[in-house]
Amino acid sequence: MTTDNPYPHLNDTARALAERSDEVRIFSIREGSWLGYKDAKRILARMEDLLAYPKITRMPNMLLVAPSFNGKTSILKRFLSLHLPETHPEGEVTICPVVMVEAPPKPDISDFYTRILDVLMTPYKPTASVSEKYSQIKRLFRQMEVHMLIVDEIHHLIAGSLNRQQEFRNALKSLGNETMVTMVAAGIEDAYNAFNTDPQMSSRFTPEHLPIWRADNEFGSLLATLELRTPLKRPSNLKNPNMMLAIHMRSEGTLGDMCDLVKELAVDAIRSKVEHITLDRINSLPWVPPSKRKQYQRL
């Protein structure tokens, strides 16, 4: 530590925050930031490749599968943020290369089309039939130059009867065939079941998987990156093997839980005036791990 750089364990952004109020620092910590780890970069690169694909009769698609709270939706939203709608140079229409919706809680085609129309912020008749909504979506996709449709939480598909599931899968296939947009469907492991029962769907969607994290060098590097961005006044050395293993054990290798645990540890360090995360607090901070939350809720 030097006078010129009193916080060498922080990056420039976190260093600028280090002398701000506790409230400002806590807000920044809880707000979080994008983590560009190896698998996330791989998925984003694959999605960029799909977005640039020429329109052909059978467009390539992707099925992104990950355990709950393991970074899937964050990757999708990151991609969406890199391809925001923009106004056509002549100002006549909005160009929207990427459309992202969440699958309805059950395989309801009308609800699905309504969600797409809502995202496109276009007026439509609430009483419109399924076929009318479908025709409007096809027209808008063409006018707005939509190249990719992202459907998150696709595992909701299996919440309906087998007939309703098949109808929904057929609707996805028809939309892809007739608009020639590439599709990215995403969900938890149940998403495999939603697609594998239909050979045509499983052949159209190439699977990509985000596994649970292991306590290895990559996990340690991720913790080191988090520490660089966390405006605590003292270093915590989160990549230390004992610290890393304790965080991994408490978060059970789930990315979202790991990030939330580190955030709460950092907030605790600020409020307690310790200004760094300790092994003792990792082990003692009140925290319900993912595997025990259902049991905890029943107590």
Last residue of a domain, one of 184, 209, 234: 209
| pLDDT value of position 214 | 96
Please choose, from the candidates 76, 100, 99, 104, the residue with its C-alpha nearest in 3D space to the C-alpha of residue 165.
104
The model carries a pTM of 0.91
Q: Are residues 43 and 137 in the same domain?
A: yes
Q: Are residues 47 and 61 in the same domain?
A: yes
| pLDDT value of position 156 | 94
Structural domain includes residue 2: no
Structural domain includes residue 298: no
Supply the mean pLDDT for the chain.
93
10-residue mean pLDDT profile of the chain (299 residues): values are 77 95 97 94 97 95 94 96 85 89 96 96 92 97 97 94 93 96 95 86 92 96 97 97 96 94 97 97 88 59
| pLDDT value of position 24 | 97
Q: If you ran DSSP here, which 8-state letter would residue 84 be given?
A: -
Q: Are residues 141 and 199 in the same domain?
A: yes
Hunting for tokens 């309805």 — which residue is that? 104
- Residue 149: count other Cβ atoms within 10 Å of its Cβ: 23
Question: Could you read off the pLDDT of 3-16 as tens digits, one per residue?
Answer: 567 899 999 999 99
Structural domain includes residue 296: no
Q: What is the CATH number of the domain that holds 114?
A: 3.40.50.300
Number of separate domains in the chain = 2
| pLDDT value of position 294 | 62
Structural domain includes residue 7: no
Structural domain includes residue 246: yes
Q: Are 232 and 266 in contact (CB under 8 A)?
A: yes
Structural domain includes residue 5: no
Report d(CA 77, CA 297) in Å as an integer: 30
Last residue of a domain, one of 177, 209, 241: 209
Q: Are residues 271 and 194 in the same domain?
A: no
Hunting for tokens 């003292």 — which residue is that? 234
| pLDDT value of position 89 | 67
Q: Are residues 75 and 127 in the same domain?
A: yes
Q: Are residues 198 and 53 in the same domain?
A: yes
Percentage with pLDDT > 70 across the chain: 95
| pLDDT value of position 199 | 86
Structural domain includes residue 165: yes
Report d(CA 48, CA 60) in Å as an integer: 12
Sheet bearing 205-209, strands edge to edge = 98-102, 148-152, 182-187, 61-65, 205-209
Last residue of a domain, one of 209, 225, 253: 209
Supply the range of the domain harboring residue 277: 12-31+213-291
| pLDDT value of position 73 | 95
Q: Are residues 151 and 55 in the same domain?
A: yes
Q: Are residues 19 and 59 in the same domain?
A: no
Q: Are residues 45 and 121 in the same domain?
A: yes
